[in-house]
Amino acid sequence: MEVLFERVAGLDIGKESLTVCMRIPGPGGRRVSETRTVKTTTRALGVMRNWLDEHGVTIAAMESTSTYWKAPFYCLEEVMEVWLLNAAHMKAVPGRKTDVKDAEWIAQLLEHGLLRPSFVPPPGIRR
């Protein structure tokens, strides 16, 4: 399957922590994945944003079943395109039962262009 986005991140967000999977090009045309779990504090989100930015990630997609998506979304939108996904659509896919697997699955679907973002008003309207 064709890769549409070369440097992506998939996030599965919870109340106190989130799991992020970064997928980027590796040696020999392979895809390299790295997954981290970070707290949802402002400082930890900034460290995560810097980590993704240093690796050239240009787009991130996230799943959250509550309003916990807001802080990571607002943090990341400063440096990359960010998509909020409909959690009901993601939960319909069988076989993904852990945060790590969810984050990896989101990243893989995103890199192949198989996701659709939900509407999030731009910052000016949110203010």
Average pLDDT over residues 77-99: 77
* Structural domains of the chain, count: 1
The CATH number assigned to the domain holding 58 equals 3.30.420.10
pLDDT digits (tens, 9 = 90+) for 29-78: 899 999 999 999 999 999 999 999 999 999 999 998 789 999 999 999 99
Work out the pLDDT band at 94, boundaries 50, 70, 90. Answer: low
Collapse the DSSP code of 84 into the 3-class scheme (helix H, G, I; strand E, B; otherwise coil) and give the result.
strand
Phi first, then psi: what are they for 19, rounded to 5°?
A: -110, 130
* Measured distance CA(17)–CA(95) in Å, rounded: 22
Record the pTM: 0.89
Q: Which domain holds residue 107?
A: 8-120
95: in domain: yes
